Amino acid sequence: MPLHHLYHGKKQGRIVRKERNSVHALDKLDRRILDLLQLDGRMSMTDLADKVGLTVTPCIERVKRMEREGVITGYYARVNPQAVDAGLLVFVEISMSSKSDRTFDDFRREILCIPQVQECHLVSGDFDYLVKARIQEISQYRSLLGDILLRLPGVTQTKSCVVMEEVKETLFIAAQK
């Protein structure tokens, strides 16, 4: 099966495949562009082109192609959590009552609506989901856990880790080979 066919899920007992646009193989220049844009997403195309050794037009064309193909998925402002009263970081392991598609779908639908949750991952191992959340202070943790997370569909057990020190946090993905 070609790489542009990706597993998308099950529907009425049959596997559904979703075809994506064919992604152009990334060369060394594309990877350098990705690294530089991850470090400074507001870099001008002139500066970017200069740093990768291209003229502006081909550089812009490469960036637009990578945006079109979904390699570059967006640009954003990184916010200091303390500045918006979200300085406490917690990770919560969540175990589910069953492993059915419906249970997972119900949970997914609800977790997407919780603004304190930054990330939620279905994982293998001793629990089902790993949740990353930011809150103002420890007193809000009780509310997040008891009033919100434990009331989500299918949740039977949680185990939490409150972060005492953030040593490294980055969204940078090394694109260089």
CA angle 131, 134, 138 (to 5 degrees): 105
Angle at 157 between CA 124 and CA 105, to 5 degrees: 60
Statement to judge: residues 57 and 120 lie in one domain: no
Percent share of the chain, pLDDT over 90: 84
Map residue 62 onto helix, strand or coil: helix
Same domain? For 157 and 125 the reply is: yes
Answer yes or no: do 42 and 10 share one domain.
Answer: yes
Q: What is the pLDDT of residues 42-94, one digit of tens each?
A: 999 999 999 999 999 999 999 999 999 999 999 989 999 999 999 999 999 99
**Domain assignment present for 167:** no
- Please check whether residues 28 and 94 belong to one and the same domain: no
Domain that holds residue 117: 81-162
Total domains in the chain come to: 2
Segment 11-35, tens digit of pLDDT: 344 443 334 456 789 999 999 999 9
64 and 86 in a single domain? The answer is no
Claim to verify: residue 115 and residue 142 sit in the same structural domain:
yes
The CATH number assigned to the domain holding 30 equals: 1.10.10.10
